[in-house]
Amino acid sequence: MLPLLAVVSVLESCLALLLARQHMLEHHGSEVHGSPAEFFLMRTAELESALSGFILLLAIMINRVHFFLREASGLKLSLDVLKKQSKNAEAEYKRLQEEQNVDSQTQAELKGLRAVVEDMREKVEKMQLDVQFKDKEVKAAEASVIAIRKQTEGIRQEYERLVDEHNNLRDQLAALDRSQSISEVKKNM
């Protein structure tokens, strides 16, 4: 699993590249690149890198959700085991408490069992809090994954729109080249 800081730095660099190129295009227009085709290729490369970054982030978020779900499942199993142990310890405690004629050795065991029961209760409460906390983290991670999926879909649609625009520009450029070559042929005649 990649560290979260590495992923964030990759995404920040992709975003910085996109913003720098967009700023350059706003101030210089198509003068930066010789032709509309080069401009379109640059924009396509930018979109592909942004899409790759978002896909990487989505994969990491899915991995984290899977990790939290596994951990929550393990905590729930541990909680069930601790509840059973706690019930068994309480039953033993009550049984020992009902015996009135216990000697001093039994009294020490009784105190030990009381301590065990209290310890188990604290562990059960702690495990319940941990399960609630992990459930909240899982829900937050799932919400993040949904938001990223929506962003990815928007980027995909923009990419498809740009591809269509590129194809139209290429057709226009080819038509322009044909008309120029026809006019040159007529001039030579």
pTM above 0.85, yes or no: no
Taking residues 69-93, report their average pLDDT.
89
Contact 165, 32 (CB under 8 A): no
Q: How far apart are the first and last CA of the chain?
A: 70
Tell me which residue of 43, 35, 69, 37 sits closest to 155, measured CA to CA. 43
Does the CA dihedral 30-32-33-35 come out positive or negative? positive
Distinct helix (H) and strand (E) counts, the chain: 3, 0
In Å, what is the CA distance from 75 to each residue of 24, 72, 114, 140, 143?
52, 5, 25, 18, 22
What residue type is 160 in one-letter code? E
Token look-up 């020490």 returns 108
The rounded distance, in Å, linking the Cα atoms of 43 and 68 is: 37
Q: Are 80 and 56 in contact (CB under 8 A)?
A: no
Residue 6 has what pLDDT? 64
Length of the chain, please? 189
- Find, among 35, 55, 21, the residue nearest to 156 by Cα: 55
Q: What is the pLDDT of residue 122?
A: 92
Give residue 30's pLDDT. 47
The span from the CA of 86 to the CA of 118, in Å, is 9
Give 27 or 66, the one with higher predicted confidence.
Answer: 66
pLDDT band of residue 46 (cuts 50, 70, 90) is confident
Assign 187 to helix, strand or coil.
Answer: helix
Give 136 or 9, the one with higher predicted confidence: 136
**Arithmetic mean of pLDDT, 137-162:** 90
3.30.460, 3.40.50, 1.10.260, 1.10.287: which CATH number matches 4-188? 1.10.287
Across 16-128, where does the E strand assignment appear?
none
Give the whole-angstrom CA distance, residue 167 versus residue 161: 10
